[in-house]
Amino acid sequence: MKHVEFNLPTIIRAGNGEFQKTGLYLKEFIKGTRIFIVTDPGIEQTGFVIEAIQMLQRQGFETRMFNQVRPNPRDVDCKAGGEAAREFRADAILALGGGSVIDSAKAIAILQCLGGEPQDYAGRNNVPEKVTPIAVVPTTAGTGAEVTRSSVITDTAKKIKFTIKDVHIAPALAIVDPELTYGLPPNLTASTGMDALVHAIEAYTCKLSNPISDGLALQAMKHIYPYLRTAVNDGNNQEARYNMMVGSTLAGMAFSHADVASVHCMAEAIGGLYDTPHGIANSMFLPYMVEYNAGADLKKHATIARTIGIASPNDSDQDATTRLVAEMKLLAADLSIPTFSSLAEVSEYDFNYLAESSYLNGSTSSNAREITKEDYLRLFKIAYSKEYKEISLQK
């Protein structure tokens, strides 16, 4: 029987219009008066940041904005943010944005309090004490970072990603409002939505899965999968946006209490080297990894297919899994996710390096099936050589 440890220190307020109560919620849940807002230039342009500043000022808070976050967030930017937060003497940090902003905010909270480099805290449980409290308003439905204890940062010198995983960086407050995603363009909706789906699938199938994370992961899939195409094709569909947002948060809770696995290891390898958007990178490798992993736990993979409604209880586990692989390829194609081979920056000469980088990722050991550097190399080659619509699972 598996030992289960569940610790979610994040207060969640979720629903349409919740963003409008940001000032009130921070007043209620956060001590102090100085709020350091972490965001990026794209979010700033939407007007959400100025709205948040006005709400906070109405509650008597003093604010300072830091908008130097880039996709695949970088160590150097986190360091600059940490110094700015320290100089401002921030009492709390408000992250307003997608996964890159939220992960940066977590690293900034550490650096403000404890100094040093983000790399000093890489790995599990290497943040020795409490850091600046973090409130989060996600603007994408994908990352789940509003409820996770992890932060994935790019080491710009080494061009690899590293993860800080520690309960001390779990947000104190998550304000989850689907209305903030209404204006998200189709490509970002697709890539972030696929990331959320991969979180649920990897949390459910990985070696660190447990009954509590399984419940969260399966429920996440029920909210994400049926609404993903609709959210991409009709961005103002309220039902789809609501379900994607709720599903994303559930998937974040699931993988935070289990782990991600080898799809993320491959995605983080190419994200570190080529700056490939995280959700796109995940989508490229998902079908092949499901195919690779299925034999290690056919029942769980078949359960995924049945949970998302693409296989019935009458189908054999093998048939259900075959459909799952095929559907993951079709879904990525339908959402216009580029294939691995279509990325101009990808070179086969890098595959050895990418395989090594994937293998060294801390989540490799969590993958459902044992996986070596050579296996990763083979999977990179397979993903590079195939089109999504080519279905090749052997029975």
Smallest separation, CB 279 to Fe ion (Å): 7
Task: Please give the structure tokens belonging to residue 155.
Answer: 């080491």
Sign of CA dihedral 5, 209, 212, 164: positive
Tell how strand 123-124 and strand 134-138 pair up: unpaired
Q: In which residue are the tokens 């998902």 written?
A: 286
Nearest in space to 102 (alpha carbons), one of 23, 195, 32, 31: 195
CB-based burial of residue 382 (10 Å sphere; 0-12 exposed, 13-18 middle, 19+ buried)? middle
3-state secondary structure of 134: strand
Instruction: Rank residues 75 and 195 by Cβ distance to Fe ion and give the closer one.
Output: 195
Query: Contact 209/47 with Cβ under 8 angstroms?
Result: no
**Closest Cα to residue 131, out of 144, 115, 119, 142?**
115
Kindly list the strands in the beta sheet with 150-155, ordered across the sheet, starting from the edge strand earlier in the chain.
Answer: 123-124, 160-165, 150-155
Nearer to Fe ion, 23 or 171 (CB): 171
Take residue 326 and report the two structure tokens written for it. 């095929």
> Which range, of 76-84, 131-139, 190-198, 364-372, touches Fe ion by CB under 5 A?
190-198
Binding window for Fe ion (CB under 5 A); candidates: 53-61, 79-87, 187-195, 228-236? 187-195
Alpha-carbon distances of 103 from 109, 260, 289, 354, 388, rounded to whole Å: 10, 16, 25, 23, 30
Q: Which residue is nearest to Fe ion (CB)?
A: 195
HEC profile of 194-210 = HHHHHHHHHHHHCCCCC
> Based on CB atoms, which residue is closest to Fe ion, 99 or 118?
99
Cβ distance to Fe ion smaller for residue 216 or 311:
216
Minimum Å distance from CB 341 to Fe ion? 22
The least CB distance from residue 195 to Fe ion, in Å, is 4
Nearer to Fe ion, 32 or 338 (CB): 338
CB atoms inside a 10 Å sphere around CB 344: 7
Restricting to residues 192-221, name those near Fe ion by CB under 5 A: 195
Residue closer to Fe ion, measured from CB, 195 or 375:
195
Q: How many residues bind Fe ion (CB under 5 A)?
A: 1
Binding mask 231-260 toward Fe ion (x if CB under 5 A, else -) reads ------------------------------
Nearer CB in complex with Fe ion: 320/332: 332
Residue 188 near residue 196 (C-beta atoms within 8 A): no
Candidates 104-112, 129-137, 189-197, 284-292; binding stretch for Fe ion (CB under 5 A)? 189-197
For Fe ion, the closer of residues 191 and 321 by Cβ is 191
Are 126 and 164 spatial neighbours (Cβ–Cβ below 8 Å)? yes
How many Cβ atoms from other residues are within 10 Å of residue 59's Cβ?
Answer: 15
User: Could you tell me the smallest distance in angstroms from the CB atom of residue 127 to Fe ion?
Assistant: 20
Q: Please, what is the minimum distance in Å from the beta carbon of residue 268 to Fe ion?
A: 9
Stretch that binds Fe ion, among 86-94, 154-162, 191-199, 315-323 (CB under 5 A): 191-199
CB of 286 to Fe ion, least distance (A): 11
What's the closest the beta carbon of residue 139 comes to Fe ion, in angstroms? Answer: 16
Closest CB to Fe ion among 257 and 323? 257
Q: How far is the CB of 199 from Fe ion (least distance, A)?
A: 6
Residue number with CB closer to Fe ion (195 or 297): 195
Q: How far is the CB of 264 from Fe ion (least distance, A)?
A: 6
What value, to the nearest 5°, has the Cα angle with vertex 94 and ends 13 and 251?
50
**CB of residue 317 vs Fe ion: minimum separation in angstroms?**
27
In the complex, the residues that contact Fe ion under the rule CB under 5 A are 195
